Every structure is written in structure tokens, then in C-alpha cells.
Amino acid sequence: ALKKAQEYMTLYPKGKHVMKTVGIAGASALALDKKDQAISYFSTIIQKDPESEYFGTALFVRASEAERKRDFAAASQDYTKLLSM
């Protein structure tokens, strides 16, 4: 799924479903244990599409990874946004 999502985003960077595809790419990268790549996709969702069905997941994954890296300030920001949803 990750490769197909990347192909879609390359072919249709302004396509109607590009943000949903970014979410799918993030979830796929996470499932493949490609955390940095997943964080990149999820950060795009957080910045550009707060109405996305992946927004909560994006916040949680990014916060968890920040916490794992001991970046507690960044983790706190994302957890706070998540809890305010």
C-alpha cells in the first residue's frame, strides 16, 4: 500500500484524494516500522488537514514517537491537541 500511495502522490500531488492517500501512506509506513517516514506523512496531515480521518492517529503517533525520543515538550503539545478533540 505504501508504494501505491507514493505513486499516487507523485502522479496527482493536488488530486482530490491526496490527503487521504497521505494518511494511508502514514499508516502503511508505521505498519512497516518506518517510523520516521510515518511521522513525516502524519505531520503533513496535522499541518494541512485537521479534518482528516487520520488526524487523531497522526497526533497520537507523533506524540508517542516524540515521547520515545524524550522530546516531552513536543509530545505534550500533540497529546494536548489530541485530548481537546
* Nearest C-alpha neighbor of 26 from the set 38, 35, 34: 38
pTM over 0.75: yes
Q: Contact at 8 Å (CB) between 58 and 23?
A: yes
Rounded CA-CA distance 21/67 in Å is: 26
Rounded CA-CA distance 17/12 in Å is: 9
pLDDT by residue, tens only, the chain of 85 residues = 999 999 999 999 999 999 999 999 999 999 999 999 999 999 999 999 999 999 999 999 999 999 999 999 999 999 999 999 9
Please state the length of the chain: 85
First to last CA, the chain: 28
